[in-house]
Structure 1
Amino acid sequence: MAHTPTYTTTLPDSEFAGFILPDLVSECHYPLRLNSHCYPVSRASEQWLINGGRLAEPKITKLMGLHAGELGAVCYPDADAFHLRVIADFNNWLFIMDDWLDEFDVDGTWGMRDCCISAFRDPVNFQTETLTGKMCKSYFSRFMQTGGPGCTERFIHTMDLFFIAVAKQADDRAKGHIRDLESYITVRRDTSGCKPCFALIEYAAQIDLLDEVVSHPVIMAMEEATNDIVAWSNDIFSYNVEQSRQDGMHNMIAVLMDEQGLDLQSAVDYIGQLCKDSIQRFEDNRAILPSWGEELDRQVAIYIDGLQNWIIGSLHWSFDSTRYFGKDGHAVKRDRVVKLLSQKPL
């Protein structure tokens, strides 16, 4: 585990209630690229979710500010329009699913899991009246038109891991339980939703990696480093909104403040250092990638580029979306100053 940073951050004034973001944008030098199909695909996907989820205001405005399609466009910049649309639909669905599951108890989460996994296993013949099940059938029936067998199974398996972890989160929430750092990290790697998104790298590129490749320790270490950067930076970015609704237990900031007695800024700095260490971990493993032969090495290179796109793409998208910083994202990105929102009554 990385050390606690020894540097200190100077706050603007004594009345300041908030924190300073770590400078992750400057630390991450990967190229940021935007898919040429971004905007028409993104707008079509939003309309798909509005119709499929039967959304009304203010949820429609919230969806339009989310920019989930734009997230897909920077994380999968080389996907064609068909594949990008499936990815955009999944991203939009996953975000609304994440919001819905925040309100579910353990039994409700398991019920949602059973419906969605059944839809993934047989999106054509599985019958359901639930909105989320119908949306799963919609995008995954299109996924299966070109998704390879290994890629498809990896997507379904990692979505199952997501629901299992979210059920643990629901149990923690019901009990008011804050995890220790080690167990939190284990669960967070599945609640992040990154793992099925990594299967979508293969899907977007129309490759299907061999099991001997995806199970190699170096590939797994690079996936884990990517997941950690995305999830842990997201804990920093989402903390303000979560604390404002008094729902911040499943967040590394709360874990560190509870377990190690850190104040808010020290916890943020600690996580920032972990993220920077994870970028180095990603590069250290890239340097020792083995060779599987010319064709497999070509596919692996595409996959590693996809992981890299997720690191840089999710980082910049977090400030472009209104999900975490409202309309102030660009100012927060520039100044790195987050002012705490007032807590809403329970």
Structure 2
Amino acid sequence: MTSFEAFSPKAQDAYNRCDFNLLACLAFPTASKEHVRSACDLMHVLFMFDEYSDRSTPSEVRKQKDAVMDALRNPHTPRPKGEWIGGEAIRQFWERTIQNATPVSQKRFIQSMDEYLEEVVQESIDKDDHRILDIKSYINARRRTGAVKPSFSIIELGFEIPDEVMSHPAIQEVVLAAIDMIAFSNDIMSYNLEQRRGDELHNMVTCVMNEYHTDVNGAVLWTSDFLLGAEERFRTALAALPQWEEPLNSQVKAYCDGVGQWVRANDDWSFEGERYFGNKGLEIKENRWMSLLPKKRATEIGPVHIDSSLL
């Protein structure tokens, strides 16, 4: 990612401390070498887009989305000069990835990326209007803005699972429950950093505080209860999976196992990387306590280094 020069040297240093390769390797522990490379590349391009979209106007985010989607649909065509650098980053990722991906997995990845990016455009509009969503609306939006579903697509790069199987209600519920566990636990993890940067409007903690007139602790506890419900939904749906003929049955099982693996990977990485807690992540994981960071609005695009002494 350094070669794209997407961030200033200071922001790039903070970006490197996030260790997105660790997240990819935790999430895909049984993947082939080629698919692990795709997973690492995808984490980088997704987080690059996240950093840029958080600091861009709605019209700029729309252009970023258009560049990404055009690159996915035309991976062998060089990107135009002067375009946002993310277009070339996603093009290179996808040009390598499709060499080891089945057609059906490619189709679903592009579809899920389109849904994710479109929701981020809407998120940027809501932020520009300083709008805090009600909890129900936020849940529906966050299930897409977390980019979890595109990430799940890496699990099936080598699989031939047809649409009619992937759309089975039990599989859909496994996926949805896992998305909820990942996206809304991330809201808890990221809230402190986001409120420091003045970027906390699109966060479950903020939505709960606004709707139930509670404080941060009360909102975190409410979200934790929601996560427990998602965990129960996941287990119930997993137990309800039907049986298919081989090799389809083994592929479905591997896919659902991979979806579950993502939940634990996201949790471990959040504390082991330095994106949210600096170098105090493992200490905070054990003690379950930290102080709110003083507010300091970000002035440039890219991650910021967390001063752990403030936590």
Which TM class, normalised by the smaller chain length? over 0.9
Structure 1 residues 50 and 279: CA distance shift in structure 2, 3 A: same
Name the count of aligned residue pairs: 296
Classify 1:56/1:175 alpha carbon distance in 2 versus 1 (closer, same or farther; 3 Å): closer
2:129 corresponds, among 161, 165, 175, to 175
Correspondence for 1:125: 77
Q: How far off its partner does 1:150 sit? A: 1.2
- Name which of 240, 252, 268 aligns with 1:316: 268
Residue 128 of structure 1: how far off its partner (Å): 2.4
Aligned partner of 1:325 in structure 2 is 277
CA drift of 1:298 comes to 0.5
* 1:92 partner letter: H
One-letter code aligned to 2:130: G
The equivalent of 1:83 in structure 2 is 35
Q: Deviations over 1:290-345 (max 9, x none)?
A: 11213211000110110111011111110011111111101101101021001125
What pairs with 1:25-104 in structure 2 (closer than 5 Å)?
Answer: 49-104=1-56
Shift of 1:115: 0.8
Q: CA separation in 2, counterparts of 1:278 and 1:142? A: 35
Q: Tell me if structure 1 keeps the 8 A contact 2:72–2:90.
A: yes
> How far is the alpha carbon of 1:54 from its aligned partner?
4.6
CA contact (8 A) 2:34 2:100 kept: no
Deviations 1:40-97 (A, max 9, x none): xxxxxxxxx0002354421221122111111110110011222211210110111121
Are positions 1:166 and 2:109 aligned together?
A: no
Q: Does the alignment pair 1:236 with 2:188?
A: yes
Give 1:207's match in structure 2, choosing from 146, 155, 159. Answer: 159
Q: Write the distance in 2 (CA, Å) between the matches of 1:266 and 1:174.
A: 27
Counterpart selection for 1:305 from 250, 253, 257: 257
Q: Is the 8 A contact 1:118 1:126 kept in 2?
A: no
State the SS of the aligned residue for 2:100. coil
TM-score, length of structure 2 as denominator length:
0.92
Q: CA deviation at 1:104?
A: 1.2
When normalised by structure 1's length, the TM-score is 0.83
Unaligned runs of 5+ in 1: 1-48
**Cα RMSD over matched residues?**
1.2
Contact 1:165 1:187 in 2 (8 A): yes
Does 1:134 pair with 2:91?
A: no
* Match of residue 233, structure 2, among 250, 275, 281: 281
Aligned residue in 2 for 1:246? 198
Given candidates 258, 263, 279, the residue that maps to 2:210 is 258
CA contact (8 A) 1:232 1:271 kept: yes
Identity of aligned residues (%): 32
Q: Secondary structure at the match of 2:290?
A: strand
2:146 equivalent to 1:192: yes
Which residue does 1:12 correspond to in 2? Answer: none
- Amino acid corresponding to residue 261 of structure 1 in structure 2: H
- 2:105 and 2:160 in contact (8 A); partners too: yes
